[in-house]
Amino acid sequence: MARYITNLKDLGKDLAWTLLQQARGIPEAKGIDDFLEDKTFVLLFAKSDLSERLCVTAAIRQMRGHAVYMGPEEKWEETVSQFPAALMGSIRYYMDGVIVYGMRASQWQPGPEVDFPVLNVGSMDAHPAHAIADIACMMRYCHDDLRKVRIAWIGAPTGTMFSLMEATMFFPFAMQIALPDMYRNPIYETLASDYMSDITFFETPKEAVKNCQFVFAGNSGRGMLSLEQINRWSLTREIMSHAEDNAHVLLGTAPMKAIPIENEVIGSKNALLLLQAENRLRVYKRMLHWLYEY
């Protein structure tokens, strides 16, 4: 049966930990191998995201595989909804697997029409690769003891946020979340309660970053928030002063979509953007390996 990676919950604790440790064990993120030689993937992107496309394409190419890109302008998402059997049949015949971005993970569950490997590289409700890669970043600075780690999420939610929330079921770190008013939803707190882990919601960024060693810049909500609101939800030196000393900064979304980050914060040695990019490449490679290791 084909393997799927759509969210962390379905992946399970043991496999999530295995992929994390295997990814950390890759000595050179951009190393070359031939594991995917002669395999071709179709990249179905319902939304444009250059950074995600570059990263997953690099992972495929560095494993000697090939990628065919279909962006939102090609209206393929409508075809998935209206003619799933026809499209899936074409994918099954011509391609070896699907990389999907921008569609809810729940739309790509195993079934009679989807019997080929599927990797979700980002949706509104899940981003398992980013969560695992970011946990790898944390472990580098916590002496591999996540029990001591407390992270903050500042800004509008993304799939990465939801996958980090799921990750608290498997990895023993705590999470503190501050969302702009219009993005607050009781469902999120219900999810946190279902996970039975240490997730707390706060009203303001200052409250959320308290006692945290890692601070994630979430989505800016452009188009939904006013300029005044966006400025209130910015990651500044003053906000970071309420976190633990030398707290690290990570991106929870694409750079152009993130809340504003003060230059002195994003340009400091405590910003982990390059390490995030390296670890995401490592995790994608390990996930692609797992899809075909059976």
* Residue spans per domain, the chain: 4-127+283-291, 128-277
What superfamily would CATH give domain 128-277?
Aspartate/ornithine carbamoyltransferase (3.40.50.1370)
Distance between CA atoms of residues 215 and 244, nearest Å: 10
Distance between CA atoms of residues 142 and 212, nearest Å: 12
Percent of residues, the chain, with pLDDT higher than 70: 93
User: Are residues 9 and 166 in contact, defined by beta-carbon separation less than 8 angstroms?
Assistant: yes
Predicted pLDDT of residue 293: 86
- For residues 243-249, give the mean pLDDT: 98
* Strand pairing class (150-154; 174-178): parallel
- For residues 185-201, give the mean pLDDT: 95
Predicted pLDDT of residue 260: 93
Q: Per residue in 119-135, pLDDT tens?
A: 999 999 999 999 999 99
Predicted pLDDT of residue 110: 58
User: Are residues 19 and 283 in contact, defined by beta-carbon separation less than 8 angstroms?
Assistant: yes
Percent of residues, the chain, with pLDDT higher than 90: 79
Predicted pLDDT of residue 108: 65
Same fold, 4-127+283-291 and 128-277: yes
CATH of 4-127+283-291, picked from 3.40.50.720, 3.40.50.1370, 3.40.190.290, 3.30.300.280, is 3.40.50.1370
Q: How confident is the model at residue 204 (pLDDT cuts 50, 70, 90)?
A: very high
* 188: phi then psi, degrees, rounded to nearest 5: -65, -40
Residues forming a β-bridge with 42: 68, 98
212 burial class (0-12, 13-18, 19+ CB within 10 angstroms)?
buried
